[in-house]
């Protein structure tokens, strides 16, 4: 049987919709034998998924996706194989989560001012430890009067998931939701001090080839690897970042950035990223040499 891996997935602990067991069940069906749960700024799901993984014979690599910034660029940083418990990483993530609660409450207040009906208590009952725009949108759409308001204000063309989020919670919009972040060089240092390795997530989504000099800065700052295989990358980007990784002795990783199965109204061939995007097991074998 052909085996696959996925080193970039999300659960209900951040902005995914599956709990740890559901994620493992689905991964098992797709022959994924190595998985990393990389929730946004949250590691609470790691012990749970590690414990549950034994029954599915899936190897778990502890992971997290951290929101960071560098020279006016928003960059996502993946941390792998760090120590659990009281570490510089866990303390920093808790601080990010606390800061984010303030931002969520501010966004809720502004959305109410804009005329939306929202139940704040219901929003915070969500299992997510890092609530996102998706959770606010779910609460907005739960109320019929909000749906009528959206229909009036947004054109049919833009009345979709991302259109609604950008229209109401994007930068400069009424309910703008800011994400708590770390300076990326500080985040790399924190990951290293916690026994982990630092990998730049889907660089092609946030950087152009002309901005490779920023990656070279991060390498000097201790960056260990690049997420070369990503559904955000076309073939030219995969080729480019693979070459860059090899030439600079960086680790090479890959993941689907799985958040949820697609909920399509009609029968389709592709309903999940794993229907078309598969990371070969050989990527894990190369990475394994660097995991303690």
What tokens does 143 get? 């109320």
Residue 127 domain boundaries: 101-169
Residue 139 located in a structural domain: yes
- Find, among 19, 53, 16, the residue nearest to 131 by Cα: 16
Residue 108 located in a structural domain: yes
Q: Please state the domain count of the chain.
A: 1
Residue 129 located in a structural domain: yes
Distance separating the N- and C-terminal Cα atoms of the chain: 27
Q: What DSSP line would sit under 115-180, residue for residue?
A: T----HHHHHTSS-SS--HHHHHHHHHTSHHHHHHHHHHS-GGG-SHHHHHHHHHSTTSTT--PPP
Residue 119 located in a structural domain: yes
Residue 106 located in a structural domain: yes
The 10s digit of each residue's pLDDT in 41-61 is 999 999 999 999 999 999 999
Strand order in the sheet with 225-229: 182-183, 63-70, 73-80, 197-200, 225-229, 251-254
Residues in the chain where the model's pLDDT stays below 50: none
Exposure on the CB side of residue 292, measured as CA atoms within 13 A: 9
**pTM (two decimals):** 0.94
Residue 21 located in a structural domain: no
Provide the β-strand partners of residue 68: 75, 182
Q: Rounded to whole angstroms, how far apart are CA atoms 256 and 250?
A: 20
Residue 288 pLDDT: 93
Residue 140 located in a structural domain: yes
The 10s digit of each residue's pLDDT in 9-27 is 999 999 999 999 999 999 9
Residue 271 pLDDT: 79
Residue 120 located in a structural domain: yes
């Amino acid at each position: 049987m052909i085996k696959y891996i996925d080193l970039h997935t999300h659960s209900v602990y951040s902005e995914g919709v599956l709990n740890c067991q559901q994620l493992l069940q689905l991964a098992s069906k797709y022959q994924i034998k190595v998985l990393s749960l990389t929730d946004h700024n949250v590691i609470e799901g790691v012990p749970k998924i590690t414990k549950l993984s034994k029954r599915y014979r899936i190897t778990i690599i502890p992971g997290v996706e951290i929101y960071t910034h560098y020279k006016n660029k928003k960059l996502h940083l993946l941390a792998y194989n760090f120590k659990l418990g009281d570490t510089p990483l866990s303390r920093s993530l808790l601080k990010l989560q606390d800061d984010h609660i303030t931002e969520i409450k501010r966004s809720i207040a502004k959305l109410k001012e804009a005329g939306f009906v929202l139940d704040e208590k219901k929003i915070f009952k969500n299992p997510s430890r890092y609530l996102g725009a998706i959770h606010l949108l779910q609460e907005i759409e739960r109320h019929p009067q909000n749906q009528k308001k959206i229909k009036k204000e947004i054109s049919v063309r833009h009345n979709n998931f991302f259109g609604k989020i950008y229209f109401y919670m994007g930068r400069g919009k009424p309910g703008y939701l800011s994400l708590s972040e770390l300076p990326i060089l500080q985040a790399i240092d924190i990951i290293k001090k916690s026994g982990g390795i630092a990998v730049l997530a889907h660089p092609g989504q946030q950087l152009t080839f002309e901005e490779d000099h920023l990656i070279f800065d991060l390498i000097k700052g201790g960056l260990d690897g690049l997420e070369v295989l990503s559904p955000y990358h076309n073939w030219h980007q995969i080729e480019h970042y693979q070459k860059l990784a090899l030439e600079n002795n960086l680790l090479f990783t890959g993941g689907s950035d799985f958040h949820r199965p697609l909920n399509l109204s009609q029968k389709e061939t592709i309903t999940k990223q794993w229907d078309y995007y598969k990371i070969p097991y050989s990527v894990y074998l190369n990475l394994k040499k660097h995991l303690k």
